[in-house]
Amino acid sequence: MDSPLGRIVIGETEGHISKVSFVDKEEETPGESTPLLRECAAQLGAYFRKDLRAFDLPLRQEGSPFQQLVWQNLLTIPFGETITYLALAKRLGNVKSIRAAGTANGRNNIAIIVPCHRVIGSGGALTGYAGGIWRKQFLLDLEKGGLLF
């Protein structure tokens, strides 16, 4: 799909959204569209229009139990808010897991919907984002701007 951040590729595996990623090159060719892929695109469109704060989609991505725990924690960060990598590690129950939490955050394959963009560095620094820091800044600004009703 096209978005304000460029092309986004959405993937589905066994009835679950398994991929939402930014594409800077036209390398990937679109596959067959399904009702779930169309629904995901519609929800992403509503998010970019500021008409949606929370996604309602079945999600699944492959990862270790620790990565799954990190990704589940990301889903609890409220729209428009951020937490630090240290706060994420504390939520996981071990401040020493800060690097592992950061690595798991970076391996999230479902951008925007599993909001890894809401995790920032200490002091508010925007560190690391697979889609590029400019996209992370855009998403945070979009969410901080609130909804237009």
Beta bridge partners, 19, equal 11
Whether 40 sits among the annotated catalytic residues: the reply is no
Spatial distance between the Cα atoms of 127 and 96, rounded to a whole number of angstroms: 19
Return the structure tokens found at 64: 């270790």
The answer to whether 109 touches 19, Cβ cutoff 8 Å, is yes
Residues 132, 116 contacting (CB under 8 angstroms): no
Q: Which of 116, 119, 120, 140 is catalytic?
A: 116
Identity (one letter) of the amino acid at 46? Answer: A
Q: What is the CA radius of gyration of the chain?
A: 15
Q: Which residues are catalytic?
A: 116
